[in-house]
């Protein structure tokens, strides 16, 4: 099996799932090119066990991560038309947060949505 290392941004908030009693998270990662810019190539990364629990708890959409893992090829049927295709994915052995953009963005959106309901205009009683 081939191993790889990559740096990229998380495409969607990780959701912890369980199959056959094993926790896992499936991540869509936009892989960066050598210059640190997102190159438009996407990788499917699977984290399992305790790592999956940590990733689901600590990593958000748009966060920058360093990932190491084993490259796997699996066959799946496309939902529309039943076309079988091979999908390249990475079974992560390491997934570390190296830049927190996503959580900051979520906090900004939440604070913008907060409305101070306790404030009353002057003269109103």
- The whole-model pTM stands at 0.70
User: Which range of residues forms the domain containing residue 70?
Assistant: 3-110
| pLDDT at residue 42, rounded to an integer | 86
As a whole number of angstroms, the distance between CA 101 and CA 124 comes to: 41
Q: Does residue 43 fall inside a structural domain?
A: yes
Higher-confidence residue: 87 or 19? 19
Task: Report the domain count for the chain.
Answer: 1
CATH code for position 40: 2.40.50.140
Q: Does residue 74 fall inside a structural domain?
A: yes
Is the confidence at residue 120, as pLDDT, over 50? Answer: no
- Give residue-wise pLDDT tens across range 51-105: 999 999 999 999 999 999 999 887 776 666 677 777 779 999 999 999 886 555 5
Q: Does residue 44 fall inside a structural domain?
A: yes
Is the confidence at residue 118, as pLDDT, over 90? Answer: no
């Amino acid at each position: 099996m081939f191993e790889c290392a990559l740096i990229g941004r998380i495409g969607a908030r990780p959701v912890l799932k369980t199959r056959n009693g094993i926790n896992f998270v499936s991540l869509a990662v936009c892989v960066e090119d050598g210059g640190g810019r997102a190159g438009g190539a996407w990788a499917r990364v699977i984290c399992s066990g305790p790592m999956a629990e940590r990733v689901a708890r600590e990593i958000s959409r748009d966060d920058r991560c360093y990932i190491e893992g084993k490259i796997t090829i699996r066959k799946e049927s496309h939902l529309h038309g039943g076309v079988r295709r091979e999908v390249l994915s990475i079974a992560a052995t390491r997934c570390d947060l190296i830049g927190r953009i996503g959580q900051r963005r979520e906090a900004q959106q939440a604070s913008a949505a907060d409305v101070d309901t306790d404030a009353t205009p002057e003269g109103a009683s």
